[in-house]
Amino acid sequence: MSRVIIVGGGIIGAACAYYLSGNGWKVTILDRGTFGQGCSHANCGFVCPSHVLPLATPGAVGRTLRAMLTPNSPFSIKPRLSLSLFSWLWAFARRCNVHDMMNSARAIQALLTSSRALYDDLLREEMLQCEWQPRGLLFVFQTPEAMHHYAETDHLLRTEFSMPAKRFDGPELERLEPALRSGLAGGWLYESDAHLRPDRLMSSLRQTLENRGVEIREYFEVHGFTNNHRAVSAVETTQGAITCDAVVVAAGAWTPLLGKSLGGRLPIQPGKGYSITMARPSVCPSYPLIFEEHRVAVTPFEDGYRIGSTMEFAGYDTTISDRRLELLRDGASHYLREPVHETVQEEWFGWRPMTPDSRPIIGRAAKYDNVWIAAGHGMLGVSMAPATGKLIAEMLDGRTPHVDPVPYSPERF
C-alpha cells in the first residue's frame, strides 16, 4: 500500500485524507499544532455556492484604499517592509478587471458547486455531526443605496452563473428574519447555501478518518524533504524524517514557508480574520447573515452564536486585537435587535490563506513529481474542501478529474 503524507490538519488536509484513504492510500496527517485548530476552527462555517466572485473586481483597489482611510475600517494592512506582500498586492491590482474577474469566478464556482453536492454525500454516508443547516444565506443591507448597488451583483450572478437570490425589501425582510432591526433597506437570500459548525465538523471528521486508519500526528512541524532528483522519499520534521511515496501540502497560510522546498512561487498571504463565539441571545437569528456594508457575518448554532470577519494583513501576527473584536460587535449592532450575548465562549483569530485571484492553488509542485499542493482557499476553505480533496485524490491516482484542474495550477503565477 502506497503511503501519502498530508502536511496540514485543517479542513483541506482532512478532505484530502478522506478521499485518498477511500482510494486505498495509507494516509498520515502531520500538523504543526493540533488537528483542526487553525483557520478551520472558529470561522463562520458557511458553505456558500453564492460566493463565486473573487475579491479582485473592477474598482476593488479604489474601494480598498478608501476603506483604509476610514476610521474603524474592517480592512487593514499593517505597515511593514515585505517584498512578498507588495508583490501580492501588485498581482491583486493587476487582476481587478472584468476579464480576470470572470475567469476566476468560473473556476471558483466549479469547486463550490461540486463541494455543495459532495457535502450531501458526506453527510449521508458518514453521518457527520456538524450542525448542518441547509437554510440558505441572507445578505442584509442597511441603506437603499447599498441595496440598489447589490442588485447589479445579483443580476450578474443570476445571468452569468445561474445563481439567483430571492429579494426581500424593508418590512418583507423583517418578517423573514424577526431578529433584524426595523428600518433596514432589505436583503437577498441565497437558498442554495448552507452552514455548519466548523469545530464540530473537524471533530466528527477526525473520528471518521481514524476509523478509516488515517494516522494523525500533532506537533510535527515540517521543514523540508528528502529527495532523489524529482522524487521525495521522506518528509523532514521536528520529530524526525517520515518516509513516504507522495506528499500533499495543505498547510493553509503556512504553505509559503515551504516555498523554497517546493520550488516555484506561492503567492499566499495570511489574511487575519476574527470571530467571537457566545451564548445564543434571546432574540437569535434563524438564518446565517452577512452585513456587506460593515463586512460582518453572523452564524447561529444550536447552542451558540458567532460573529466574525474583518480582514487584516499583518503577517503572522499572533495577537488578538480588542479593537478588531469591537468592530464585529459594533457592526452587528446596526442590524440586529440583540447583537451580542454577555456570555462569551471564545475570542479567536485565524489566518486565511489568500491568493491574488481568489483561486486556490491545487496541483503538482514545480520541483517534484510526487508532491502536490492544495492551499490558498482564502475565506472559502470549508466551502471548497470536499471538491479539493476529491480532485487531489484523482490527480494522485491519475484518474480523470471531476473538475478541470487547469485554473488552479501553481504554474499560473
Using only C-alpha atoms, the chain has a radius of gyration, in whole angstroms, of 21
**What are the structural domain ranges in the chain?**
3-41+200-265+358-412, 54-96+132-194+269-354
CATH code for the structural domain at 54-96+132-194+269-354: 3.30.9.10
Asked if pLDDT for residue 77 goes beyond 90, the answer is no
Annotate 343-363 with DSSP letters as a single string: -EEEEEEEEEEE-TTS--EEE
Quote the percentage of the chain above a pLDDT of 90: 89
Asked if pLDDT for residue 409 goes beyond 70, the answer is yes
Structure confidence by residue, pLDDT tens digits, 331-387: 999 999 999 999 999 999 999 999 999 999 999 999 999 999 999 999 999 999 999
Enter the pTM of the model: 0.96
Taking the alpha carbons at both ends of the chain, their separation in whole angstroms is 35
Alpha-carbon span 259 to 253, nearest angstrom: 12
pLDDT of amino acid 260? 83
- 3-41+200-265+358-412 and 54-96+132-194+269-354 have identical folds: no
pLDDT band at 69 (very low <50, low <70, confident <90, very high): low
Mean local confidence (pLDDT), 117-144: 97
CA nearest 39: which of 352, 380, 339? 352
Residue 408 carries which DSSP code? G
Q: 3-41+200-265+358-412: CATH homologous superfamily? A: FAD/NAD(P)-binding domain (3.50.50.60)
Structure confidence by residue, pLDDT tens digits, 210-260: 999 999 999 999 999 999 889 999 999 999 999 999 999 999 999 999 988
Annotate 42-78 with DSSP letters as a single string: SS--EE-TT--S-S--TTHHHHHHHHHTSTT-SEEE-
Q: Give the three cell numbers for residue 113.
A: 458547486
pLDDT of amino acid 68? 67
β-partners of residue 28 are 5, 215
8 Å CB contact between 198 and 14:
no
